[in-house]
């Protein structure tokens, strides 16, 4: 059994808040539930850990899957007349915050290397960087389960067949 966190509290719940028992003392801001559960599980016996895992799997099966969030629209930031490649990367990252930067790394670092190591003009590199970001965004939109295309269905809106 987990010792109560509110030692002076006879009921075991510190301030009556189950969240504070599960996650320890509340910190300002967000707390990582996975970390709190891992810390609790580490203090349990092997049998209790197995029970906790069974209960977590039960909750997982019984809970509805969260609705996927649609890929947000880009936040267009105008391209300045004279811009460095680094500033363009910052601008494009701010324009497309929904993109996973790790998936862009190979292409963007290759382009930056061409500019720095091979002297390729910044304007050319920035033009290609914009294409890379836009292409990755368009792929994300195509793969977005919340955006349905009418090509996938027999009917267009209003019941008209295509």
Per-residue pLDDT tens over the stretch 97-132:
999 999 999 999 999 999 999 999 999 999 999 999
Specify if 41 maps to a domain. yes
The boundaries of the domain holding residue 46 are 14-62
Q: What is the mean pLDDT of the chain?
A: 80
Together in a domain, 104 and 136: yes
- The 3 state secondary structure assigned to the chain is CCCCCCCCCCCCCHHHCHHHHHHCCCCCCCCCHHHHHHHHHHHCCHHHHHHHHHHHHHHHHHCCCCCCCCCCCCCCCCCCCCCCHHHHHHHHHHHCCCCCHHHHHHHHHHHHHHHHHHCCCHHHHHHHHHHHHHHHHHHHHHCCCCCCCHHHCCECHHHCEC
Specify if 127 maps to a domain. yes
Q: Which range among 44-53, 57-66, 98-107 shows the weakest confidence by mean pLDDT?
A: 57-66
Together in a domain, 56 and 105: no
Per-residue pLDDT tens over the stretch 28-41:
557 888 899 999 99
Burial class of residue 89 in the structure, from the number of CB atoms within 10 Å of its CB (0-12 exposed, 13-18 middle, 19+ buried)? buried
pLDDT at 29: 56
The structural domain count of the chain equals 2
């Amino acid at each position: 059994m987990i010792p109560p966190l509110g030692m002076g509290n006879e009921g075991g719940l510190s301030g009556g808040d189950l969240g504070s028992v599960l996650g320890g003392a509340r910190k300002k801001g967000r707390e990582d539930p996975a970390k709190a559960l891992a810390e609790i599980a580490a203090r349990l016996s092997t049998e209790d850990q197995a029970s906790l895992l069974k209960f977590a799997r039960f909750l997982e099966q019984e809970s509805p899957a969260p609705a996927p969030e649609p890929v947000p629209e880009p936040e267009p930031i105008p391209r300045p007349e004279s811009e460095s490649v680094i500033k363009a990367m910052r601008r494009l990252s701010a324009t497309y915050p929904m993109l996973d930067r790790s998936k862009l790394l190979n292409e963007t670092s290759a382009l930056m290397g061409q500019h720095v190591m091979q002297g390729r003009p910044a304007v050319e590199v920035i033009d290609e960087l914009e294409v890379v970001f836009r292409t990755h965004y368009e792929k994300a939109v195509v793969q977005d389960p919340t955006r349905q295309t009418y090509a996938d269905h027999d009917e267009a809106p209003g019941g008209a067949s295509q």
